[in-house]
Amino acid sequence: MSLLLDTHVLLWWLTDDERLPERMRDAVADDENEVLVSAASAWEMSIEAAPGELTVPDGLRAELQQQGFTELPVTVEDGLVAGALPRHHDDPFDRMLIAQAVRRGLQLLTVDRRFSDYDVRLL
């Protein structure tokens, strides 16, 4: 199965945070699953890090490679799909993740209940 991590799920995984639900932890740890991280998540983290709201892990890209995660670029088509989504959720980063998951048939790992307003596979 191919999994796309929401930004907070990625951060919780990297910091071994207890807020990460066990079923998500198990899915990410399962070697049978491909785990993807969107460029939108790195962008979101760097924006939130600027005013000090968040700390981006040092060497994020190297850490993602060490974890065996696959980088998912943002494409023009992703942007078009994200922009056309119903306005259930106004966070542009979340909308991008939803669009990427929908376009590629990925299961999106999130604890954000607003994602369920979209026709996207969730865990």
Within a domain: 122 = no
- Determine the Cα–Cα distance for residues 18 and 92; give it in Å rounded to an integer: 27
CATH of the domain at 34: 3.40.50.1010
Residue 111 lies in a domain: yes
Residue 32 lies in a domain: yes
Q: Is residue 33 part of a domain?
A: yes
Find the largest Cα–Cα distance for the chain: 38
Whole-number pLDDT of residue 54: 65
Q: Say what the pLDDT of residue 21 is.
A: 97
Query: For residue 23, what are the domain limits?
Result: 2-116
24 located within any domain: yes
Q: Is 121 within the bounds of a domain?
A: no
Total domains in the fold of the chain: 1
Per-residue pLDDT of the chain (123 residues; tens, 9 = 90+): 999 999 999 999 999 999 999 999 999 999 999 999 999 999 998 888 776 766 777 788 999 999 999 999 999 999 999 999 998 878 999 999 999 999 999 999 999 999 999 989 999
State the DSSP H helix or E strand holding residue 5, giving kind and residue range, or none if neither: strand 2-5
Confidence (pLDDT) at 108:
98
Q: How far apart are CA 107 and CA 51, in angstroms?
A: 31
Please check whether residue 123 lies inside any domain of the structure. Answer: no
Q: Please report the pLDDT score of residue 45 as a whole number.
A: 87
